[in-house]
């Protein structure tokens, strides 16, 4: 927490403006309708029945602004047998088979993934759907409703699911190995048999296996020899030289706390320091887009709740300050104390 802003909220909302409306308050739906008249796109992630109960379903808003594109992201989508279920990313990780696959392949107990795969996939697929709807609106003049289910997006983005659906995991590549070097752990993206072949042909490792060794002993002895060689690489320069000589894809197993030290992340400015609203700075991930003819990047810190109530309503609706204050007094508009400073 810095400047009244939690870290996760800061990460997700840096550079945005915040207009905060209590959607259950009397008069809130009318205010939303006025904003919708000016809007291109509306994104919501309630359960499918909520927007209708608030008087903000797509049919109602489409009548207000026929060009509106509305993106709805929910766990199980609209109109299905599980549409009523609440869902967060870990629920979808479980339902989509990711947790089971992780446990099965890793030989570990069932546990959640260390990042919100389902949230990220749904948001990115939602963006693709919205952009497609924008292109179609240019042709037809009409907006539309884009319904994204987190479980659909996760299944669609799962590039390993065919192994499970067809019971064919044995046809897939061998798993990547992680090895300890003298500089630290690395992951090598290569079948062990190919790695061994390169170590013999390019590095000159001698085969420790005798002519009468069994297959199990051959594998054990060769893996031990590879481990000895890699552990003898004393620093990252030696690791880089060996991997480059074999032309192998590899990666340093990093702690994410050191990500600002990753050479490409540092060179491309993928993590930047921005105002923490408390007299200092804090890190945030930068936009990954590098356009040849446009600028892209974080514009500023994350907003406090309701910080831009006045700015947005005056800009979008040309609303008089007295009317905005009346909405605040009626608790239609909400604002954190920090936004008053």
Q: First and final CA of the chain: distance in angstroms?
A: 17
Q: In the chain, what are the domain boundaries?
A: 39-173, 176-252
CA atoms of 305 and 65, how far apart (whole Å): 27
- Pairing of β 69-74 and β 145-149: parallel
Question: Would you say residue 188 has pLDDT above 90?
Answer: yes
pLDDT tens, position by position, 8-66 = 999 999 999 999 999 999 999 999 999 999 999 999 999 999 999 999 999 999 999 99
CA atoms of 63 and 77, how far apart (whole Å): 23
At 284, give phi and psi (nearest 5°): -150, 150
Using only C-alpha atoms, the chain has a radius of gyration, in whole angstroms, of: 27
**Which residue's entry shows tokens 């992201």?**
73
**Which residue's entry shows tokens 């042909």?**
201
Q: At 339, is the pLDDT very low, low, confident or very high (cuts 50, 70, 90)? A: low
Contacts of residue 231, defined as CB under 8 A and 6 or more positions apart, other chains included, come to: 180, 181, 182
Burial class (CB in 10 A: 0-12, 13-18, 19+), 15: middle
> Residue 270: its pLDDT value, please?
96
**Which residue's entry shows tokens 């008069």?**
27
pTM recorded for the entire structure: 0.90
- Pairing of β 41-44 and β 69-74: parallel
The domain at 39-173 falls in which architecture? 3-Layer(aba) Sandwich (3.40)
- Judged by DSSP in three states, 304 sits in coil
pLDDT tens, position by position, 250-262 = 999 999 999 999 9
pLDDT tens, position by position, 138-181 = 999 999 999 999 999 999 999 999 999 999 999 988 889 999 99
Could you tell me the two tokens for 24? 């259950």
Name the nearest CA neighbour of 192 among 145, 240, 151, 225.
225
CA 199, chain centre distance (Å) = 37
Residue 307 · residue 278 · CB < 8 Å: no
Q: At 137, is the pLDDT very low, low, confident or very high (cuts 50, 70, 90)? A: very high
């Amino acid at each position: 927490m810095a400047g009244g802003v939690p870290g996760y909220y800061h990460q997700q909302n840096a550079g945005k403006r915040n207009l905060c409306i209590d959607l259950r308050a009397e008069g809130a739906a009318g205010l939303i309708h006025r904003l919708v008249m000016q809007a291109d796109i509306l994104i919501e992630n309630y359960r499918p029945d909520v927007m209708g109960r608030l008087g903000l379903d797509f049919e109602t808003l489409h009548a207000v602004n026929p060009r509106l594109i509305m993106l709805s992201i929910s766990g199980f989508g609209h109109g299905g047998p599980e549409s009523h279920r609440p869902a967060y990313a870990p629920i979808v990780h479980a339902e989509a088979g990711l947790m089971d696959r992780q446990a099965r392949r890793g030989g570990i107990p069932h546990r959640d993934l260390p990042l919100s795969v389902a949230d990220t996939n749904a948001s990115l697929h939602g963006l693709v759907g919205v952009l497609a709807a924008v292109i179609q609106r240019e042709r037809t003049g009409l907006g539309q409703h884009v319904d994204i289910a987190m479980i659909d997006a996760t299944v669609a983005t799962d590039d390993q699911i065919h192994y499970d659906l067809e019971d064919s995991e044995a046809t897939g590549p061998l798993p990547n190995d992680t090895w300890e070097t003298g500089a630290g752990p690395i992951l090598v993206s290569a079948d062990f048999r190919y790695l061994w072949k390169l170590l013999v042909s390019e590095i000159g490792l001698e085969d420790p296996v005798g002519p009468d060794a069994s297959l199990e002993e051959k594998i054990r002895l060769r893996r031990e020899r590879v481990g000895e060689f890699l552990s003898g690489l004393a620093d990252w320069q030696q690791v880089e030289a060996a991997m480059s000589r074999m032309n192998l894809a590899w990666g340093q197993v990093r702690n994410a706390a050191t990500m600002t030290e990753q050479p490409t992340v540092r060179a491309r400015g993928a993590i930047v320091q921005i105002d923490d609203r408390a007299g200092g700075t804090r890190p945030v991930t930068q936009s990954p887009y590098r356009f040849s003819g446009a600028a892209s990047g974080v514009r500023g810190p994350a907003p406090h709740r309701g910080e831009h109530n006045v700015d947005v309503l005056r800009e979008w609706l040309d609303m008089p300050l007295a009317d905005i204050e009346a909405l605040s007094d009626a608790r239609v508009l909400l604002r954190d104390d920090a936004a008053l400073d």
